[in-house]
A and B are shown apart, each in its own frame.
Chain A
Amino acid sequence: MDKHYFFSRIVANNRVCDKLFTMQLKAPEIARSSNPGQFINIYFQNSAKIFPRPFSISQIEEDIIYIRYKVIGSQTSKMSEWKKNDKVRILGPLGNKFNINSEIRSHILVGGGIGSAPLFYLRDALLEKDLDVQFFIGAANRDEHYVLEDKSCILKLATDDGSIGWHGTVTELLQEEWPKIEQPAVIYSCGPEPMLEALKKFAQKNNTEVQVSMEKIMACGNGLCQGCAVRTEDHIEQDYVLVCKDGPIFKAKDIIIDD
């Protein structure tokens, strides 16, 4: 089986701040075979809410995978109560991966809120290749940020309320910094759809590739149900791609983000 479905043991489940958590799961086979951009499904023994929930793989450490999550609904609330050594059913690795081109001079990571999750794993992979990484993260306020400093690469923060870093959106911050970024550059991003849409427009203007990690409601996470379709940016013949299988990583120019 290419995709591993099993009961994983929770190694740690820590509150980082306010509603943000980091969970470590023992998953040797997933840790060995996954790539930045891929995700796992977490299954809940819940007969009322039947879908699993997808989470980006946020970091790998030997045979442990990390996920970063924010408590938003009843399922993430349940997750926040899980304890070390609890068993949780997961499936992964799922989806495609970020495409890394080592010829590119600057690798720009842009995360919005909890959307920064998959970018930490990508950062690690880029740094391992000795590439030049700049990490931009925006959030509502200081408490919604996972990291306030990063010794491994350039980190620039933005907050809506100005409680730390740039006072405004992360896309505005990127625009401000853009002239200082050595070209050619590529942008990798994950976050709310309006942010991805803004990046798509920005990149179009600046003739830069943007890879976006998309999120849609999914039932299966592996191509079975065809529920997570997004429209492709093809004006001649309308077509769809699946976030779970063809994605979650797409070139922004290829899809309609905010349908």
Chain B
Amino acid sequence: MIDLSTKLNQDFILDNPLMTASGTCGYGDDLGEVVDIENYGGIVTKSLSLKPRKGNPPPRIVETPSGMINSIGLANIGVQSFLEEKKTGLKKYSGKLIVNIAGETQDEFLKIAEILENESWIDGYEINVSCPNVKKGGIAFGTDADVLYQLTAKIREQTDKYLIIKLSPNVTDIGSLALRAQQAGADAVSLVNTFYGAAIDIHTRKPKINSVIGGLSGPAIKPAAIAKVIQTAQKVDIPIIGIGGITDGADVIEFMLAGASAVELGTVHFMNPAAVVEIKKYLVEYCRQHEINSLQKIIGKAEI
């Protein structure tokens, strides 16, 4: 029997290392119409803000070579509607449920976490300090080490839930930021959010998305994301959740060897909505082939 589970800490064990990346699976329910979400070790919801957000004007997405640029602008139903509309469905999910939180101010982050704190069906938070597509908040919290430290420490003070800080790759030294998050009490860091990207229509000379610069994701960013995971693994002791262009099981193995304890699947949901099923099969096969009884033994085992 091959064990795919991955232990992020004593009380936080995922049945398998596959999670959804925020913003690519709705609140778990939309994706659930296509594939059984029980296949995931963890679900990360779309970013929630205190009040509903309508998002950015169109066009919001564009296909680019082996990837896409998005500028959705954190469109979401807000924390109250989330509790009213999504609770019943999500309570049935047996894996780890992580709510992604996006605030414009430190107070907003804290307020959202406060509202969710007593909901025992929510296992953790992923703090979005890396959205490139909003005017206020977003990436501003994830690029200044002191601001990041303060925010993380404040949320840590008021929650016992598993606390993940989602980092931006659009920084000079992601490892130092991850270290500051660790020092402030984060349980894990997830990386990477999208890279800055832009595309221009050469005939109309107009940018292909409304905000001119958006977030690049998809297979195109995988090698860049792997590099960020390696750099971060050299700096921190807390678990790293790897994100960036994963499309198949081999990609997951690669992220884990680079130092990721778990991974999030994002853009692949658009390319192949049932990818999780195929990836799980591959992980088992890989372990068999390499005579490994527990997948987590490969974490950080790239011979660097």
Contact = CB atoms under 8 A, between A and B. Distances in A.
Interface in A184-235: 216-220, 222-231
B134 to A, nearest CB: 14
A116 to B, nearest CB: 25
A52 interface: yes
Interface in B235-285: 247, 267, 269-274
A225 B26 CA distance: 7
10 contacts: A5-B274, A50-B267, A51-B271, A91-B273, A220-B24, A220-B270, A225-B72, A227-B61, A239-B54, A240-B57
Contact of A50 (B60, B70, B218, B274): B218
A5 B58 contact: no
Interface stretch (B29-37, B81-89, B143-151, B161-169): B29-37
B23 interface: yes
B35 A1 contact: yes
A217 B270 contact: no
A222 B34 contact: yes
Contact of A230 (B26, B58, B67, B271): B58
B90 to A, nearest CB: 16
A3 B72 contact: no
Interface of A: 1-3, 5, 43, 47-52, 89, 91, 216-220, 222-231, 238-240, 245, 259
Most buried by A among B68, B219, B271: B271
Contacts of B272: 43, 89
Interface residues of B, number: 36
Contacts of B62: 217
Nearest to B218: A50
- Return the 6 tightest CB-CB contacts between A and B, nearest first: A227-B61, A219-B270, A223-B30, A220-B270, A2-B33, A227-B60
Interface string B19-55: 0000111100011011110000000000000000011
Judged by DSSP, the binding face of A is loop
A238 B58 CA distance: 12
A5 B70 CA distance: 24
B54 A225 contact: no
A219 B61 contact: yes
Given A225-B72, A227-B60, A1 B34 contact: yes
Contacts of B35: 1, 5
A229 B24 CA distance: 15
Contacts, number: 103
B63 A3 contact: no
Most buried by A among B61, B65, B272: B61
A238 B14 CA distance: 41
Given A50-B270, A229-B55, A245-B30, 6 more contacts: A48-B66, A49-B63, A217-B59, A217-B62, A222-B273, A224-B26
B75 interface: yes
A167 B219 CA distance: 48
A254 to B, nearest CB: 16
Contacts of A91: 34, 273
Most buried by A among B23, B30, B267, B269: B30
Contacts of B58: 216, 228-231, 240, 259
